[in-house]
Chain A
Amino acid sequence: MVESIRVVSRDVGRILEALSLIMFASIAVAIAWGEEYTIPALLISGAIPLAIGYLLTRLGKGAAEPGKLHGMVIAAAGWFLVAVFGSLPFFFVAATDVLHIGVLGSPPITPTTAAFLNPLNGIFESMSGFTGTGLTMAVHENHLPHVLQWWRSLIEWVGGVGVIVLTTAILARPGSGSLTLYESEARSEKIHPSIVSTVRTIWWIFLLFTVASVTLLWLAGMPLWDAINHAMTGLATGGFSITDNSIATYHSALVDFATVPVMVLGSIAFPVHYLVMQGNLDELWTDLQTRWVFGFFGLGTLVLTVLLAAGHIYSTPFQDFRYALFQFVSAASCTGFQTAGSLGTSWSVAEQLVVSLGMVVGAAAGSTVGGIKLIRAATLTKGTLFRIRGVFYPESVVRHFHMNGRSLSEGELAREFEEAAIISFLWFVFLGIGIFALILTVDPKYTLENAIFEVASAQGNVGLSTGITGPGMPTLDKVVFLFNMWIGRLEIIPVLVLLRALVTGFEVSP
């Protein structure tokens, strides 16, 4: 037990130390934008996790290498603590503004920044960022200091890399969607030997794609600062914006269409990206998940275009297609960028539910998206058909289940099928709990479909909003959404493992 605590303590401590480093690095942005008054806030914000991280690392010095159980606990605890400590820049910058300290030259505080004087709002924003959700407590993002705009984008970007590492290396197990891609690692009990090279490669690909995405968005017409921030949050499929109306701010079809491939890049499993970059371009159509990503995005766009055309919300078929493509890709990639300002009010129930379906299913495991993931949908669909067909065969027949070029025995299929079913079931259970809490407390002007949409958005780490989420929402709803975002990002099981470990300890039952 003590040894396990030391293992977790050391790795969580390292995560907090890394968090402090990116806070200190953000001082460069403060200097670049002439917001030096935020530097003390960033220094204090960074010093706290650095000190705690140092103490935790010291506590775990010399501890054993982590196994799978520890990996899950570290991921769940680390994500939670990073979200808590990541809220400090929001609070301290707001506090600096409200104190209006003359010697620091801080400007008068805006209502948007003042919302972060409530620490819960900062934790919500930080959890939303690190989980790549994009729901926000900032009413007018363009009124935030550049440092906080940057901090929101940076935490989504870092969280995006984190979740790829999580799903392709740490949590790789049967049914997780990573087994097919990283079979050898899934069988490894120790995570460190393979995770280091995996993390490095993922950072490298992420950095390359970010640079290309910034260039693309800038070329489409965004100012450079906007392009940097939206490329970071778009690739991480997080969806934080630095403008008041998300991508709709630009009133540009070109910007809309340029943002779509950025979101799609974030929706494809990064191991596939790696293989494609090695010259294996055929992975784009031979890999099951990637094929399903394009198929799902295409089908969703088509259905939504037809519904919008039938609803006569927009004036031309081109506008129907433009908004349908952007909003479905934004939802299914779990990004949450918005171009349709009327999504929560003018769009019909059918249109909102199609978008909700995209948010619930998501895209590829091993990418930055949330949701249940297409691989699980594929496993459940094909597995169900396999079981039904099995009724028509004699019991003596040995059958194999084929998926993504792999042949699985009935036992292996059962494991994959069970894992996908458990996660999908838990996903809907917690979705139901969130919806129940929301309809009890939310303003009566919002409908049930609004509540379903909002909770699906939080738990799917999407960030599209019908207008429910904001600094004025009830505290209970903020806490429930924090939990929804957290479990959605970690695919539920690690959070439950952490909670069990906190209650009963790390002992493995005989």
Chain B
Amino acid sequence: VARLIEEFHKLPGIGPKSAQRLAYHLLRMPAAQARTLAEAIVDVKERIVLCSACQNVTEIQPCRICTDPGRERSLICVVEEPLDILALERTGTYRGLYHVLHGVISPMDGIGPEELKVQELLQRLRSDEVREIILATNPNIEGDATAMYLGRLLRPLGPRVTRLARGLPVGGDVEYADDITLSRALEGRQEVQG
């Protein structure tokens, strides 16, 4: 039991108390259910691979998005992490392909482009007809650095390179907006509809 508690404790967001609670919950769990959980964990590690094209996590190779005939193949949206794809897919408005960098350039932490899936992105540009690349890195220092770096790298290769717009979040407050967000929001203002 002590070993189990220790293993739980290593997970993100799990403190010593939660680890204990989870371990004792497992003890009381029916054997079959515990087995299902254990198998799910093993499966994740054994069956999930990175898509050879977009580098997203997937069970089938290439992934479902990359093989979907309904998606626009000349459009690639570059994201930092696989979870960003889930968020973008939830909107239902994007119909192109993705590319996951698995990280972000962070000069102060010594993380450079060589640690990201940049080479793989260049490879895709060489083999496929790409009209536009949408950079969907986070709007912070690291995301800015990554977007600027990729922009510089990709532009000479032909495609249009764009970045997600910045502005006020839904449910936000103009009063509390920071200077940069507010000036970008002003620059990107739009005609009122309806």
B partners with A: no
- List the interface of chain A (C-beta within 8 A of B): none
